[in-house]
């Protein structure tokens, strides 16, 4: 649990066993008082349906005991409830924090759940070197320097860095590259770096460039522009026309940066703008990041709505989960009010270590920012719904074309990649009602020692065996959405037979299998489809399901071949030295640099090996014994 658990009390979990629904909820009221806390509603299988918080547990739970007056979602949830659990807390804020932790851990069906929550990149002006580096940074802020962000995406950071290089000419190379340079790199030639690596700018002048860049990132771009304009005028008066032209180019680039920032509010220095749009039981939350009076990008989210939650509940749950591992800004502008704004303010302020304000603006510049975010949320949701509808039609068509019992919810597509059996990799990609689920993709390094090089059937058997053995270990009751409805295999009847043999041995009998073979002349559009116990079939060249299957197969091929190339590239750099205990990357480099090749190392005597930097007598003996085992001991 959390540090808020101290002093909590948990009454019995299942009073009056045998009761369900309203009667069960009513029976729980005898054990409750007016304390704040968290409650869990469980079904007959003890699975958590819902986690909620309450200022007053007795009052909140008594609402569920009423037989009428509930939304369809809440009514369904109450009907399924067969047990309840309770935890009292010392404060309402502790209850909110505990609720968020339990939702994240348990992922209950009726709670709103944020499904895609990645960290955000920052810009780092590194201060560990006399000539600071400007670069993208993601993760813990351990490196010495100044951090600016968050930015909505890596693309937003890269665009800003690209423009900042034009304006402030700061280096982006690593310290190691910086120290090894003997002449300016291409970035200097295209006027994106001042080339401090080879002394073309003094330490003081470079520090001034860094100061200007940081002033811009702090929102003081007007001062930077005025300073550059003064320098340009002075250079012109001194007839330093080349320097004046360079300053003019920097001013022009700075203007382009400001235009590229999009919405740049004058009266809002730091805020996140969070807008919600809901339609057809689906939700889109759009978040815009305002820092230093500049828009640093936006990102859209599609939280699971807990089977039909209202706007206030969706937005409140989103805020609690979104800022779980992020520092909130001083101001968060919302499109809709939330029910427990005071508790959320306390929680976010505690996480930030300073005051955080929530606001639902009605007029002025802040309201315009929210309106812009809300419009983006509506448009993003409309696109998502349109794509989902098109995907649903394709899945319906797939089921009809291949005689499946129902449109598949999860399709797994498999392909192998190798060259004459070497560096073999099996790839699995996943698709469903929302398109490709890239977070579910997997690669399998083919391990079978008994496989004949190029044995595609044996490779497929290994991949499918490992995949389904893991599924059976982790979810023997097959309740998880990770179980596929359909397997698409890149191959013909032989591949399908190999897959069916694996599934039969593991007792998996209700997963459909389709093999996609290249067909006549290996021509796209002439694919043959193989199904267990049925004759091969084809689809018309212009059939939308054919295009859909081609896209699925091509994605699996792209994923598998990417893994194969990475494995092959790693193998190209491999040498017998990798197999010697105690020989890491540094000693390997030293040996290869000294002798020129691993073969030369294998022929070297003890004295020659000991002459290499970093190679002690014991290490030299280990290397010598590895290549000359008959001389060991």
pLDDT, one tens digit per residue, over 437-461 is: 888 999 888 876 666 666 778 888 8
Q: What is the mean pLDDT of residues 500-527?
A: 81
Q: Rounded distance, CA 519 to CA 528, Å?
A: 5
Contacts (Cβ under 8 Å, ≥6 apart) of 621: 606
Q: Give yes or no for residue 29 having a pLDDT over 50.
A: yes
The pLDDT confidence band at residue 582, using thresholds 50, 70 and 90, is confident
In a domain, 265, yes or no: no
Q: Do both 450 and 494 map to the same domain?
A: yes
Q: Do both 247 and 138 map to the same domain?
A: yes
The pLDDT confidence band at residue 16, using thresholds 50, 70 and 90, is low
Q: What is the mean pLDDT of residues 279-289?
A: 90
Please return the burial class of 51, using the count of CB atoms within 10 Å of its CB with bins 0-12, 13-18 and 19+.
buried
Q: Give yes or no for residue 338 having a pLDDT over 50.
A: yes
Let me know: does 485 contact 460? Beta carbons within 8 Å: no
Q: Rounded distance, CA 101 to CA 324, Å?
A: 9
Q: Give yes or no for residue 513 having a pLDDT over 90.
A: yes
Highest mean pLDDT (candidates 400-409, 525-534, 586-595, 597-606): 400-409
Q: What CATH number corresponds to the domain at position 40?
A: 3.40.1440.10
Q: Rounded distance, CA 218 to CA 214, Å?
A: 6
The pLDDT confidence band at residue 12, using thresholds 50, 70 and 90, is very low
Q: Do both 330 and 296 map to the same domain?
A: yes
Long-range CB contact pairs, 469-476, < 8 A, 24+: 469/506, 472/506, 472/508
Q: Is the dihedral of CA 444, 447, 453, 456 positive or negative?
A: negative
Q: H or E element: which one contains 234?
A: helix 221-237
pLDDT at 254: 66
Residue-level length of the chain:
633
Q: How many helices and strands (H and E) does the chain possess?
A: 20, 18
Residue spans of beta strands (DSSP E) within 206-312: 270-279, 282-291, 294-301
pLDDT at 626: 81
In a domain, 139, yes or no: yes
The SS3 of residue 92 is helix
Q: What CATH number corresponds to the domain at position 604?
A: 1.10.150.20
Let me know: does 526 contact 519? Beta carbons within 8 Å: yes
Q: Which residue range is the domain that position 494 belongs to?
A: 411-570
Q: Do both 430 and 516 map to the same domain?
A: yes
Q: Give yes or no for residue 273 having a pLDDT over 50.
A: yes
Q: Do both 349 and 200 map to the same domain?
A: no
Reduced DSSP (H G I as helix, E B as strand, rest coil) percent helix, strand, coil of the chain, to 5: 45, 15, 35
Q: Give yes or no for residue 533 having a pLDDT over 60.
A: yes
The pLDDT confidence band at residue 79, using thresholds 50, 70 and 90, is very high
Beta strand 357-359 pairing with 282-291: unpaired
The pLDDT confidence band at residue 235, using thresholds 50, 70 and 90, is confident
pLDDT at 541: 80
Q: Give yes or no for residue 161 having a pLDDT over 90.
A: no
In a domain, 595, yes or no: yes
- Model-level pTM? 0.66
Q: Rounded distance, CA 457 to CA 454, Å?
A: 9
Distances (CA, A) of 441 to 416, 431, 498: 14, 9, 22
Contacts (Cβ under 8 Å, ≥6 apart) of 364: 267
Greater pLDDT, 441 or 9? 441
Q: What is the mean pLDDT of residues 504-530?
A: 81
Q: Rounded distance, CA 381 to CA 300, Å?
A: 9
pLDDT at 37: 93
Q: Give yes or no for residue 223 having a pLDDT over 70.
A: no
- As given in the structure block, the two tokens for residue 493 are 């009847």
For residue 493, how many other CB atoms are within 10 A of its CB? Answer: 14
Q: Do both 428 and 510 map to the same domain?
A: yes
Q: Do both 375 and 522 map to the same domain?
A: no
Q: Give yes or no for residue 14 having a pLDDT over 80.
A: no
Angle, alpha carbons 524-529-532 (nearest 5°): 160
Q: What CATH number corresponds to the domain at position 356?
A: 3.30.420.340
In a domain, 400, yes or no: no
pLDDT at 212: 84
In a domain, 593, yes or no: yes
Residue spans of beta strands (DSSP E) within 14-158: 37-42, 48-54, 83-88, 122-126, 134-137, 145-148
Q: Which of 106, 132, 148 is the last residue of a domain?
A: 106
What stretches of 290-423 show up as alpha helix (H) in DSSP? 311-322, 341-352, 364-402
pLDDT at 31: 85
pLDDT at 600: 81
Q: Rounded distance, CA 488 to CA 399, Å?
A: 13
In a domain, 620, yes or no: yes
Highest mean pLDDT (candidates 257-271, 304-318, 394-408, 606-620): 394-408
pLDDT at 450: 62
Q: Do both 623 and 555 map to the same domain?
A: no
Q: Rounded distance, CA 113 to CA 314, Å?
A: 9
In a domain, 580, yes or no: yes
Q: Give yes or no for residue 419 having a pLDDT over 60.
A: no
- As given in the structure block, the two tokens for residue 87 are 């935890």
In a domain, 388, yes or no: no
Q: Which of 333-342, 407-416, 446-455, 620-629 has the lowest mean pLDDT?
A: 446-455
Q: Is the dihedral of CA 518, 519, 523, 525 positive or negative?
A: negative
Let me know: does 277 contact 374? Beta carbons within 8 Å: yes
Let me know: does 627 contact 604? Beta carbons within 8 Å: no
Q: Give yes or no for residue 300 having a pLDDT over 80.
A: yes
Per the prediction, the chain carries an average pLDDT of: 84
pLDDT at 501: 92
Q: Which of 260, 289, 311 is the last residue of a domain?
A: 260
Q: Which of 88-102, 336-350, 366-380, 597-611 has the lowest mean pLDDT?
A: 597-611
Beta strand 122-126 pairing with 134-137: antiparallel
Greater pLDDT, 600 or 516? 516
Q: Which of 570, 596, 617 is the last residue of a domain?
A: 570
pLDDT, one tens digit per residue, over 200-213 is: 999 998 998 898 88
The pLDDT confidence band at residue 587, using thresholds 50, 70 and 90, is confident
- DSSP letters spanning 161-204: HHHHHHHH----S-HHHHHH-SS--HHHHTTS---GGGTSS-HH
pLDDT at 521: 54
Q: Do both 127 and 209 map to the same domain?
A: yes
Q: Is 632 left (phi over 0), alpha (psi -120 to 50) or beta?
A: beta
Q: Do both 311 and 326 map to the same domain?
A: yes
The pLDDT confidence band at residue 231, using thresholds 50, 70 and 90, is confident
pLDDT at 568: 58
Percent of the chain with pLDDT over 90: 36
The SS3 of residue 295 is strand
Greater pLDDT, 42 or 296? 42
pLDDT at 274: 96
Q: Do both 512 and 437 map to the same domain?
A: yes
Buried b (16+ CB within 10 A) or exposed e, 287-298: bbbbbbbbbbbb
Q: Rounded distance, CA 633 to CA 630, Å?
A: 8
pLDDT at 633: 45
- As given in the structure block, the two tokens for residue 317 are 């749950």
pLDDT at 336: 95
Q: Do both 511 and 588 map to the same domain?
A: no
Q: What is the mean pLDDT of residues 267-273?
A: 90
The pLDDT confidence band at residue 256, using thresholds 50, 70 and 90, is low
Domain count of the fold of the chain: 5
pLDDT at 177: 86
């Amino acid at each position: 649990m959390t540090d808020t658990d101290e002093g909590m009390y948990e009454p019995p979990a299942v009073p009056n066993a045998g009761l369900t629904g309203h009667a069960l909820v009513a029976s729980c009221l005898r054990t409750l008082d007016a304390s704040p806390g968290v409650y869990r509603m469980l079904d007959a299988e003890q699975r958590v349906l819902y986690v909620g918080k309450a200022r007053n547990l007795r009052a909140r739970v008594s609402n569920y005991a009423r037989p009428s007056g509930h939304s369809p979602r809440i009514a369904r949830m109450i009907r399924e409830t067969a047990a309840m659990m309770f935890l009292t807390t010392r404060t309402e804020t502790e209850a909110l924090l505990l609720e968020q932790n339990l939702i994240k851990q348990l992922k209950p069906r009726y709670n709103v759940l944020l499904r895609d929550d990645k960290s955000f990149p920052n810009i780092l002006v590194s201060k560990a070197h006399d000539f600071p580096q400007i670069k993208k940074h993601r993760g813990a802020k351990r490196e010495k320097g100044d951090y600016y962000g968050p930015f909505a995406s890596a693309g937003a950071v890269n665009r800003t860095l690209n423009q900042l290089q034009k304006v402030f000419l700061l280096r982006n190379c690593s310290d190691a590259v910086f120290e090894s340079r003997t002449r300016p790199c291409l970035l200097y030639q295209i006027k994106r770096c001042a080339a401090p690596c080879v002394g073309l700018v003094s330490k003081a002048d470079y520090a001034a460039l860094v100061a200007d860049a940081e002033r811009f990132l702090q929102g003081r771009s007007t001062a930077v522009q005025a300073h550059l304009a003064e320098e340009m005028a002075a250079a012109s008066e001194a007839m330093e026309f080349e320097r004046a032209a360079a300053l003019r180019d920097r001013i022009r680039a700075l203007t382009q940066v400001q235009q590229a920032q999009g919405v740049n509010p004058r009266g809002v220095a730091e805020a996140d703008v969070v807008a919600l749009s809901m339609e057809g039981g689906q939700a889109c939350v759009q978040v815009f990041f305002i820092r230093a009076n500049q828009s640093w990008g936006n990102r859209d989210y599609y939280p699971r709505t807990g089977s039909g939650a209202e706007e206030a509940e969706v937005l409140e749950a989103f805020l609690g989960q979104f800022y779980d591992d992020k520092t909130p800004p001083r101001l968060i502008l919302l499109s809709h009010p939330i029910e427990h704004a005071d508790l959320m303010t306390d929680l976010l302020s505690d996480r930030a270590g300073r005051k955080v304000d929530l606001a639902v603006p009605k007029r002025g510049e802040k309201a315009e920012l929210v309106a812009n975010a809300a419009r983006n949320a509506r448009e993003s949701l409309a696109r998502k719904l349109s794509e989902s509808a098109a995907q649903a039609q394709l899945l319906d068509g797939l089921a009809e074309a291949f005689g499946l019992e129902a449109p598949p919810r999860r399709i797994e597509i498999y392909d192998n990649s190798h060259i004459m059996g070497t560096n073999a990799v099996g790839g699995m990609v996943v698709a469903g009602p929302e398109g490709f689920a890239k977070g579910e993709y997997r690669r399998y390094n083919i391990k079978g020692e008994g496989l004949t090089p190029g044995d595609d059937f044996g490779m497929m058997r290994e991949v499918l065996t490992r995949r389904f053995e893991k599924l059976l270990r982790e979810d023997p009751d097959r309740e998880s959405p990770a179980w596929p409805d359909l397997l698409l295999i890149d191959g013909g009847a032989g591949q399908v037979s190999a897959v069916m043999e694996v599934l039969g041995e593991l007792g998996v009998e209700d997963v459909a299998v389709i093999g996609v073979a290249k067909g006549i002349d290996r021509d796209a559009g002439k694919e043959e489809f193989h199904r267990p116990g049925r004759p091969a079939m084809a689809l018309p060249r212009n059939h939308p399901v054919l295009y859909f299957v081609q896209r699925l197969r091509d994605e699996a091929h792209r994923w598998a071949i990417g893994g194969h190339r990475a494995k092959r590239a790693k193998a190209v750099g491999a040498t017998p030295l990798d197999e010697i205990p105690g020989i890491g990357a540094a000693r390997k480099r030293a040996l290869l640099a000294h002798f020129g090749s691993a073969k030369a190392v294998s022929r070297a005597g003890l004295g020659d090996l000991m002459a290499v930097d970093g190679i002690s007598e014991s290490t030299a003996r280990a290397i010598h014994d590895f290549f000359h085992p008959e001389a060991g001991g």
